[in-house]
Amino acid sequence: MTLPSDHPRVQFRTVGKSYGEVAAVRNISLDIAAGTLVTLLGPSGCGKTSTLRLIAGLEHPTSGRILIDGQDVTHLSAAERDVSMVFQSYALFPHMNVLENTAYGLLASGMKRREAEESAVAKLKAVGLAGFERRLPSELSGGQQQRVAVARAIVLEPKVLLFDEPLSNLDAKLRRQVRDDIRALQQNLGLTVVYVTHDQDEALAVSDRIVVMQGGFIVQDGTPRDLYERPANRFIADFIGNANLIPVQVMACDGDLATITLGTVRMQVPHRGLSPGPALMAIRPHAVRVAAGKTGVPFRGRVCKAAYLGGHIEYVVAIETVGAEVFVIDGNVHAPLAVGEVVDVSILVADTALVPASDEK
């Protein structure tokens, strides 16, 4: 299904979009390769949905150009672009049944009714909705409505398939399954998918590549592993995986490693381009080990809060020598620590990353 092409499937060339005074998207450039699933991730208002709608043609940029398969589509309307979208609300037409909804796009592009309905039936079968053709959307469950929306979009075999927060209207249990279904469908059909979400777990689970946006800018663009292990700044370290951000001093850089002081303790970690001076150390909650007793580790802390969550326990531990509180996820549910208890704290240096002390734009 993918065309042999030198071009990336979607290209943004310094695209900006503003609504009056408010800039939603600020001069972003972005390439999306064919056959990949790229997630636009960020908090609400970061410009990710605007970016998605710019690809769809539902918004038109105030500056810059958008190309699909090398063709300039900047001024083409949504109907003229070979792009389909699955909406957050699914946007199923309430007055049409499942079959009519699915065949709608094919009929709009001039296909004969019989052919259109055959393809629609095939795609409905592919998403597991055979036998539901005559139902109205109002007679389906949320998950089924979502699958109709997907079938309606993929039946057109678009060059790019867009998902706008497709899981947000599903209950937690269904989410994991639908997420896996979407990923499987994308890989089986070799679809190019752009996926918008504000949920970092969802993004990590489905994506080939994640584009993190904030305030209309792209702040980092990389594989899920890149983002988690090597966050570009404190915003991403915090947004993806809730890192503890502890102030440290970079004393000296030597080769790839920097010597830093954390509280009174010196250690060596990869410097990631930082020069001597203040910096932040991103420490994942599960990279901190807490245990009662004295084993001679460098840090001592006091348990401030403890919450039992079945599979693990969450603690907040104040470390006096560092002057910070850290959030800890501890798998050892059989030996809970009491609030107020003084504990040994050790940090797995391999699961930490240095980030700049302040976010530069």
Partner 1 sequence: MPWVIGFWASLVVVPWYGLEAGLSSQSWPAAAEAAWHGRSWLLVLLPPVLLASLAGGLRWPRLMALAGVSGLLLLALEAWLIAGKSQPPLGWGALVYASCALVVAAYGLAWQGWCRGDVFIVAAIGAVCASTLVFVGYPVSCVLISAFRDNAGHLDFGLFAAKITDRSIWGLDCLTGGRNCGVAWNSLALACIVGVLSTLIGLAFALIAARTHFPAKRLLRLMSILPVITPPFVIGMSLILLFGRSGMVTAWLNHWLDIPRSRWIYGMTGLTLAQLLAFTPIAFLVLLGVLQGVSPSMEEASQTLRSGRWRTFTKVTWPLIRPGLANAFLIGFIESLADFGNPVMIGGNFRVLSTAVYFAVVGAAQDQGGAAVLSIVLLAFSLTAFVLQRAWVGRRSYVTVSGKGDSGQPGALPRSLHVVCLGVVLPWIVLTASIYGIILVGGFVKAIGSDNTPTWEYFLTAFAIGHGDHGFFLAGSAWNSLFTTLKVALIAMPLTAGLGILTAYLLSRQRFAGRGVFEFLTMLSFAIPGTVIGISYILAFNTAPIELTGTGLIMVIAFVFRNMPVGIRAGIANLSQVDKSLDEASLTLGARSAATLRRVILPILRPAVVTAMVYAFVRAITSVSAVIFLVSGEYNLATVYIVGRAEFGEYGLAIVYSAVLIVIIVSALLAIQLLVGERRIGRREIAQKRVPTPELAQA
Binding region for partner 1 (CB under 8 A): 56-60, 74-81, 83-85, 87-89, 91-95, 104-105, 108-109, 136-138, 149, 152-153, 156, 162
Q: What's the rounded Cα separation, in Å, for the pair 314 and 335?
A: 13
- Minimum Å gap between C-beta 137 and partner 1 is 6
Q: What's the rounded Cα separation, in Å, for the pair 173 and 170?
A: 8
Nearer of residues 149 and 319 to partner 1, judged by Cβ: 149
Distances (CA, A) of 345 to 247, 262, 294, 295: 17, 13, 10, 10
- Bridge-based pairing state of the strands 244-254 and 257-262: antiparallel
Nearer of residues 19 and 308 to partner 1, judged by Cβ: 19
Nearer of residues 158 and 285 to partner 1, judged by Cβ: 158
Nearer of residues 107 and 342 to partner 1, judged by Cβ: 107
- Minimum Å gap between C-beta 176 and partner 1 is 25
Cα dihedral sign, 172-177-183-186: negative
Structure tokens at 196: 């918008």
Q: What's the rounded Cα separation, in Å, for the pair 286 and 238?
A: 14
* Residue closest to 310 by CA, chosen among 342, 326, 283, 333: 333
- Minimum Å gap between C-beta 162 and partner 1 is 8
Please, are residues 34 and 8 in contact by the beta-carbon 8 Å criterion? Answer: yes
Nearer of residues 139 and 180 to partner 1, judged by Cβ: 139
Nearer of residues 78 and 316 to partner 1, judged by Cβ: 78
Please, are residues 281 and 291 in contact by the beta-carbon 8 Å criterion? Answer: no
- Bridge-based pairing state of the strands 299-308 and 265-270: unpaired
Nearer of residues 92 and 219 to partner 1, judged by Cβ: 92
Beta pairing partners, 32: 10
Residue tagged 């209207």 (tokens): 169
Q: Where are the alpha helices (DSSP H) in the chain?
A: 48-56, 98-108, 113-126, 142-154, 172-189, 200-206, 224-229, 234-239
Nearer of residues 162 and 288 to partner 1, judged by Cβ: 162
- Minimum Å gap between C-beta 100 and partner 1 is 10
- Minimum Å gap between C-beta 349 and partner 1 is 48
Structure tokens at 303: 């348990």
Q: What's the rounded Cα separation, in Å, for the pair 209 and 31?
A: 11
- Minimum Å gap between C-beta 117 and partner 1 is 15
Nearer of residues 110 and 273 to partner 1, judged by Cβ: 110
- Minimum Å gap between C-beta 125 and partner 1 is 20
- Minimum Å gap between C-beta 234 and partner 1 is 35
Q: What's the rounded Cα separation, in Å, for the pair 221 and 27?
A: 15
- Minimum Å gap between C-beta 142 and partner 1 is 11
